Amino acid sequence: MERDQAHIKLEELRNLLEKYGYHYYVLDKPLVPDAEYDEKMQELIKLEEEFPDLQTADSPSIRIGGAPLDAFVKVQHEIPMMSLGNAFNEQDLHDFDRRVQQGTGEPVEYMCELKIDGLAVSLLYEKGSFVRGATRGDGTTGEDITNNLKTVGSIPLRLNKKADIEVRGEVFMPERSFENLNEEKEKNGEMLFANPRNAAAGSLRQLDPKIAASRNLDIFLYAIADDKGLGLPSHSKSLEYMKELGFKTNPENRLCTSMDEVIDYVNSWLDRRNDLSYEIDGIVVKVDDIDHQEDLGFTSKSPRWAIAYKFPAEEKVTTLEGITLSVGRTGVVTPNAQLKEVQLAGTTVKRATLHNEDLIREKDLKIGDQVVVKKAGDIIPKVVRVLDELRTGEEKDFQMPETCPSCESRLVRLEDEVALRCINPHCPAQLQEALIHFVSRNAMNIDGLGEKVILQLFSHDLISNMTDLYKLEREELIELERMGEKSVQNLLDAIEASKQNSLERLLFGLGIRFVGSKAARTLAEYFETMEKIRSAGIEDLIAINEIGEKMADSIVNYFDQPEVNKLLDELKELGLNMEYKGPKRKEAAEDSLLSGKTVVLTGRLETLSRKEAKEMVEMLGGKVTGSVSKKTDVVVAGEEAGSKLDKARELGIEVWNEGNLTEAASSLT
């Protein structure tokens, strides 16, 4: 085929596949059988491979997934992706309505939308073409996941108009896709996803887009990031405009003329939510009129013109079949309820933590009881109460053991604690949990060393403590199940690389009681070496603002143990770094340029990351906040600073560039 003919044919195929995809993914009305769609897609791919210079960035072939990325790039949201305030009952909704009417001076209409239980994303289009997609992140900074989002069939790669627009939506995994995915994982002996939301989030954060493409994700778009230039009078008109552009919006949205109508809508979904093919966890209620929205404005965290009604946690009755015990890395022995399998909030629940013996007594739990269970926050299974009126007399009391279920050492209850604790430092269960913590993301961050691998290494007697990890050899690992040449080499490389971690990671990984990742960073910054931390006294530690007496006492007691010092000496001999490698924080003098001032960072900085810029501001005595207001003293503006810079100029706030900040910071060194 000649190049000109190929160009025409490619355009025909792309238009045809876009039409098929829109009807299939957005309208849910397929025009052709799947086989015909697949045939046309293969024809397109083959022709693009033959004429690679004719492939376009918005071709439907992109949806099958491209080459893996090394890492995700951070994205600054010019218009923040704010969270919503919550309502938990009808009175909360009436209170919201009262505040709205006080702010607008008149009754308003509300747009009600199903609150999809997924992952919020932002999609940017230039001249009608999809150019960037990002996660919400912390609302100000997200991650660029464009390649993964291109694999979602219901996200248009080209709009029906050549519009420059940014829209917001919720990516989710339909229940059927979730069930298929977990069935596949179970066959492969892999850990199952807890719920569709986790599965959707995990899929979008895969560095390989082909994985995201295989997960059959979907999306509903719910807002235009900034519709002021479009002249749309209401949120409902914005949703209609998005549909015209080719976006998928939720057909269950409803415009209500009063709060009573809103409540009727909410109540109608309390029983019907399980009829949907996707999960929802509430209803979002928004003031419809755009002028009213502007009148009401925002708090520092959320719009005053919108609220999220959260469904009450679903409750089910099931049987308490038994109580088992687990031993944590600090030696705490926790009783766990073994439940007759029950479907709850979209997932299968078989167990729930009972926390401690006192809770079992307080709830009067007996093995064999009929119990009411729910998910706290729709996430964590919890035993709510016993239905003692259903007891048959066959139920049995539960007694906590006197010895550790792992090592049989005598359990103790420390002063002012309700938990029973195993204090044997060689307890296998504690050692396993300690190692799982040691290799975790916020600690030594050893990729490939998850819980299953740690337990496998334990069961084969290859490790018993932290030092053993750094003595593992290829020959013994290659014999393990599911350990091929490549995975073994990757694991050994990751273990070797972890030796170069900055001190705070090792410090957190040691699992010192009361020392979290933030406290570990504070200690590492202040003392700079492990040796200085090991020799620090209580007075030295409590001299640091963030370290209290309880934590200081725990740290001193930890480093007083001979076995701990032996462990650290061995880790040092094995080549682990014992020094802090991060930026040094200096105490800002009272006359520092930003002492006591509130600073906002905006735009793209050329030489500094957002984290580095924040640390410089703090080094100069300032405090960084996310939004510009009358309380802001300085705005540091980079490229494409946008609305925050405009607002700073309107309010007459001092504006710095990146050079001003680095120059001020360098004056302290």
Q: Which residues are catalytic?
A: 115
CA–CA separation, 553 and 118 (whole Å): 43
CA–CA separation, 571 and 561 (whole Å): 16
Kind of pairing, strands 85-87 and 306-310?
parallel
Q: Which residues 6+ apart lie within 8 Å of 67 measured at CB?
A: 209
Q: Which residues 6+ apart lie within 8 Å of 574 measured at CB?
A: 467, 470, 471, 499
| Assigned token pair, 14 | 């792309």
CA–CA separation, 197 and 172 (whole Å): 6
**The 3-state secondary structure of 229-241, one letter per residue:** HHCCCEHHHHHHH
| Assigned token pair, 282 | 């509430």
> Quick check: helix, strand or coil at residue 91?
helix
CA–CA separation, 150 and 66 (whole Å): 10
Kind of pairing, strands 623-625 and 598-602?
parallel
Nearest residue to 76 via CA among 128, 138, 120: 138
In angstroms and rounded to an integer, the radius of gyration of the C-alpha atoms of the chain is 29
CA atoms within 13 A on the CB side of 399: 3
Q: Do residues 330 and 421 lie in contact, with contact meaning Cβ atoms separated by under 8 Å?
A: yes
| Look-up of token digits 């993914």 | 25
CA–CA separation, 510 and 443 (whole Å): 8
Q: Which amino acid is at 424?
A: N
Per-position DSSP letters for 157-205, written without gaps between them: SB-SS---EEEEEEEE--HHHHHHHHHHHHHTTPPPPSSHHHHHHHHHT
Element (H, E) at 602: strand 598-602
Per-position DSSP letters for 358-380, written without gaps between them: HHHHHHT--BT-EEEEEEETTTE
What is the phi/psi pair of residue 187, to 5°? Answer: -60, -35
Distance of CA 268 to the CA centre of its chain: 30
